[in-house]
Amino acid sequence: MTDDAGDYGFETLAIHAGAMPDPTTGARATPIYQTTSFVFDDVDHAAGLFNLQQFGNIYTRLTNPTISVLEERVAALEGGTAACATASGHAAQFVAFLNLMQPGDEFIASKKLYGGSITQFNETFPQFGWQARFADPTDPASFEAAVTDKTRAIFVESTSNPDGVIANIEALSAVAKRAGVPLICDNTMPSPYLYQPLKHGADIVIHSMTKYLGGHGNSMGGIIIEGGSFDWYQNDKFPLMTQPTKAYHGVKFAETFGNFGFSVRAKAIGLRDIGPSLSPFNAFMILNGIETLPLRMQRHVDSAQAVARFLEGHAAVDWVSYPGLGSSPHHALANRLMPRGTGAVFTIGLKGGYDAGVRLVEACELVSHLANIGDTRSLIIHPASTTHRQLDEAQQQAAGAGPEVVRLSIGLETADDIIADLDQALSEACGSGKSAA
């Protein structure tokens, strides 16, 4: 099922897109092609593959049949033309920017991002001469104001991890179009089941497949999906896409490969020379996860809504930052952009501050204390004592990770069990005990 993907519904694509019965064995599930390399028919065949004149597999650092199915599947779910899978979400970000940025170039990033992304942009990208400038995702004009002639991309999270700030992708897309640069959207938090940024004006989508796409907390992975409509030749900002590449006999990625040139370059240059390729085994695990994405995601958001409502009514809880609640300043935009729900990760603020946060994570019995999101299991973390402990209090506040903040990722257990565990843990942590609701 590869030709008419557009005619099928989301649930059908989640199970079938990119896959066919195995041509040699008839295997119906996509096999794990656990091989490093692939035999050439003859020397001409090998030459055609190495020159990018022919499609086929050479070596798993570049491409692999299990990974190709996963790439087609996620591209179909996001409404993109092609994709490049990577070893992790961070690798996807790095490989995407490697297609765009040269030393001295800049990009504009939302200041509401996953903490690891802020660190990657601030601490490591400067080693390559890449400069991130930060802007406010609730104020598209702040992105416009940050545009310079060195800007090469705009980067936002569709829903920010952890505090659920919803980016107005349509407004940001207009800013990116005026600047002549692609809008890159990290769509990890909602997953394509809840939101498809390419349909709202984004040009490139990134995922940490480690989270909802894999969905079971057992496999790292990342992916870059291209929308296929960005015109790389509209200005002279993207020579890496438009100018001849020495290593491939003068190939111009945007010209030769058209609406999948970004993905081809990500593999032929990014994976080839940097090497963060996904393992075929992880591709298999993530494909299995994706088959149930629509069912899982709906349960995630239904339970998150119930848990958020419970916590909002609890005496020990000062506030709940969840776009699914009427109290969120992002509620109206969230409802318009994500009518099926706004995800299952959110933060709460405890009246008891830092000490209550520490006691709460330690008092949970069913909900696991760890640093991840998008698992079948419900997860909790107190950022100020863990992921954000290196920051001072002002930096923690700016990152939405103040001393009183706890992040939850609502899993697929019985919702009443999650609520009961949080209720007992809040009693333990905050003394008072009973819910005000």
Ligand X SMILES: *Cc1c(COP(=O)(O)O)cnc(C)c1O
Cβ contact 230:203 at 8 Å: yes
Taking the complex as a whole, how short is the minimal distance between the CB of residue 87 and ligand X, in angstroms? 8
Minimal CB distance residue for ligand X = 89
Choose the binding region for ligand X from 83-91, 196-204, 245-253, 303-311 (rule: CB under 6 A): 83-91
φ, ψ (nearest 5 deg) of residue 35: -140, 145
Residue 375 lies near ligand X (rule: CB under 6 A): no
**23/19 Cα distance (integer angstroms):** 11
Choose the binding region for ligand X from 111-119, 251-259, 359-367, 425-433 (rule: CB under 6 A): 111-119
Taking the complex as a whole, how short is the minimal distance between the CB of residue 42 and ligand X, in angstroms? 40
Taking CA atoms, 223 is separated from 28, 113, 197, 199, 431, in Å, by 24, 17, 14, 18, 44
No. of H helices and E strands in the chain? 18, 12
Q: Which of 172, 118, 182, 177 is nearest to 152 (CA)?
A: 182
Choose the binding region for ligand X from 43-51, 84-92, 352-360, 375-383 (rule: CB under 6 A): 84-92
**318/340 Cα distance (integer angstroms):** 27
- From the number of C-beta atoms within 10 Å of its C-beta (0-12, 13-18, 19+), residue 36 rates as exposed
Question: 40-59 mask for ligand X (x: CB under 6 A)?
Answer: --------------------
Choose the binding region for ligand X from 60-68, 97-105, 172-180, 186-194 (rule: CB under 6 A): 186-194
- Find the binder of ligand X among 220, 224, 364, 415 (CB under 6 A): 220
Footprint of ligand X on residues 306-345 (CB under 6 A)?
Answer: none
Taking the complex as a whole, how short is the minimal distance between the CB of residue 155 and ligand X, in angstroms? 10
- Find the binder of ligand X among 189, 301, 304, 363 (CB under 6 A): 189
Residue 211 lies near ligand X (rule: CB under 6 A): yes
Structure tokens at 128: 């390559």
Cβ contact 146:123 at 8 Å: no
> Which CB sits closer to ligand X, 57 or 187?
187
**48/57 Cα distance (integer angstroms):** 11
> Which CB sits closer to ligand X, 173 or 208?
208
Binding site for ligand X (CB under 6 A): 88-90, 114, 116-117, 157, 161, 186, 188-189, 208, 210-211, 220, 222, 373
